[in-house]
Amino acid sequence: MDLIRLKNVEKKYKNGVTAIYDLNLAIEKGSFVFVIGGSGSGKSTLIKMLYREEKPTKGQVVVGGLDVAKLKNKKVYKLRRKLGIVFQDYRLLPKLTVYENVAFALECIGEKKDIIRIKVLKALEDVGLKNKVHEYPNNLSGGEQQRVAIARAIVNDPKLLLCDEPTGNLDPEKSMEIMKVLESINKQRGTTIIMATHDKEIVNKMKKQVITLKDGHLVKFKQKGTYAE
């Protein structure tokens, strides 16, 4: 079954700019998909619609059986518990340690302490940071901070991991480390990953599915695609 389905989706912002025109998409469970395109192509808008920071103006967005457009503000948490999100700027809490940052995601949804401990340590092991549990984010490198953010995103075993330019602030070497982490999450946990990026090298090396957007239109949806202008 498809985890994500978009039907005739259009997104028009209040300032009159249309970011997405008539988009139809279906993404299968367990897939690894890149969303590529230049600035203003609508890739960020697409990601934002998937976790309902933005609502589509027309059409239907269904994520894991939930109709995102119809989701009330009060019920958004139901969607967010099914997915993890990673941003370009990590968004960690500086006053909390690595462990506490990851545990925070579970404490917020009222998980038990001993379960939190097991899940957090597992997630940190998956991203290769088990030896930095008690460090503060500011003492870590950018790549490490992003890995903490990934651990926080996957700690609740989501079906879907959304990444909005996760390597945007990192050098090529660190970026590849992140990609390896994401690939192993995709393989070992079976998590569906959707990643918006404009890093050609990564897309070409990984050989995954690629959605190409241009000026709000879907140009191509290819299996094992590359970044072609």
Partner 1 sequence: MKPFRMLGRSIRDAVKSVIRNFSLSLASISCISITLIIVAVAIMASYNVQNFTREIEKDMTIVVFLDNQIEQDEIHEVEEQIKSISNVGEYTFQSRQEVKQKMQEESEIFSTVLENWEDEDSPLKDTFQVKVKNIEKIKDTAEKIQAIEKVSVVRYGEGMVDKMVTAFASIKKVTYGIVVALILVTIFLIVNTIKLTISARKREIEIMRLVGASNITIKLPFIIEGMILGVFGSVVPILITIYGYFAFYRHFDGYLYSRLIQLIEPEPFIYNVSLIVIAIGIVVGMIGSASAVKRYLKV
Please give the Cα distance from 138 to 92 (Å, whole number): 10
**Choice from 74, 134, 173, 229 touching partner 1 (CB under 8 A):** 74
**Choice from 24, 67, 77, 228 touching partner 1 (CB under 8 A):** 77
| 152 contributes a contact to partner 1 by CB under 8 A | yes
| 103 contributes a contact to partner 1 by CB under 8 A | no
Nearest distance from residue 134's CB to partner 1, in Å?
20
The three-point CA angle 27-125-3 to 5° equals 10
Nearest distance from residue 93's CB to partner 1, in Å?
6
| 85 contributes a contact to partner 1 by CB under 8 A | yes
| 89 contributes a contact to partner 1 by CB under 8 A | no
Stretch that binds partner 1, among 76-84, 140-148, 188-196, 205-213 (CB under 8 A): 76-84
**Three-class secondary structure of residue 204 per DSSP:** helix
Residues 38-67 interacting with partner 1 (rule: CB under 8 A): 51, 53
| 131 contributes a contact to partner 1 by CB under 8 A | no
Please give the Cα distance from 39 to 36 (Å, whole number): 10
Beta carbon nearer to partner 1, 79 or 195: 79
| 91 contributes a contact to partner 1 by CB under 8 A | yes
Please give the Cα distance from 51 to 111 (Å, whole number): 22
Stretch that binds partner 1, among 16-24, 101-109, 138-146, 206-214 (CB under 8 A): 101-109
Q: How many C-beta atoms lie closer than 10 Å to residue 195's C-beta? A: 27
Residue pair 45/196 in contact (Cβ under 8 Å)? The answer is no
Would you list the DSSP string of 38-67? -TTSSHHHHHHHHTTSS--SEEEEEETTEE
Q: How many C-beta atoms lie closer than 10 Å to residue 212's C-beta? A: 21
| 112 contributes a contact to partner 1 by CB under 8 A | yes
Which H/E stretch holds residue 24? Answer: strand 18-28
Contact footprint for partner 1 (CB under 8 A): 51, 53, 73-74, 76-82, 84-85, 91, 93, 104-105, 107-110, 112, 152, 156
